[in-house]
Chain A
Amino acid sequence: GAGVSQTPSNKVTEKGKYVELRCDPISGHTALYWYRQSLGQGPEFLIYFQGTGAADDSGLPNDRFFAVRPEGSVSTLKIQRTERGDSAVYLCASSQTSWAGNEQFFGPGTRLTVL
């Protein structure tokens, strides 16, 4: 597609449930990033993939959060035993390569609400 796409756009779940958030990067982009944005704040880094491997997962808040990118394209962010504090907008971004000077392009985000 022309840009980064994310599904679903909105997800409402109950505390304790499991959720999966999907990201489709720009075609041909090898680097993929997940960020989380709370209300009134700037996005905060979660995890970065170069190809299929997670090159940096230092931003994942705890072991309930996990992400995969099995074929080096689509990525899924998985959250187990969701908590109300997980409510936020989850943003995905991609860039052409891992070169540090590359621009990151963001998707529209998934708004997660944990009741």
Chain B
Amino acid sequence: KQEVTQIPAALSVPEGENLVLNCSFTDSAIYNLQWFRQDPGKGLTSLLLIQSSQREQTSGRLNASLDKSSGRSTLYIAASQPGDSATYLCAVRPYNTDKLIFGTGTRLQVFP
């Protein structure tokens, strides 16, 4: 059974720091991995999608890497800003299923 774990559960940093959020999954048989952002009381905003054949994806200050064989992904946030404060969720799409399996998220707070 696929399980997704995110560490740390919560993170509080001063503005300007570079951050790494971690996501691990137990079964490497996945089609892709998606990183999402969730603001309090809101839905999920897709940040990056990495296909199983890819190693990384970049969007602005965000960079996500995928090491499928070791069951790990990292989300790197450069020069963090208070507006980056949110919960970050990763999710994998396992082979032969149509659903995403989510981690429990990392709650990030960036203070001025």
A residues lining the B interface (CB < 8 Å): 4, 6, 31, 33, 35, 40-45, 48, 50, 55-56, 59, 91, 93, 98, 100-101, 103-109, 111
> Complex: how many Å from CA A11 to CA B105?
25
> Complex: how many Å from CA A50 to CA B97?
13
Question: Interface size class for chain B?
Answer: 20 to 34
Residues of A within 8 A of B91 (CB): 42-43
B residues 56-85 near A (Cβ < 8 Å) are none
| A104 and B46 contact, Cβ closer than 8 Å, known pairs A42-B89, A56-B98 | yes
Inter-chain contact total with CB atoms closer than 8 Å: 62
> Complex: how many Å from CA A107 to CA B51?
22
Residues of B within 8 A of A56 (CB): 97-99
Residues of A within 8 A of B42 (CB): 108-109
- The majority secondary structure among interface residues of chain B is strand
Q: Is the CB of A42 within 8 A of B105?
A: yes
Residues of B within 8 A of A44 (CB): 102
| A42 and B46 contact, Cβ closer than 8 Å, known pairs A56-B99, A101-B32, A101-B51 | no
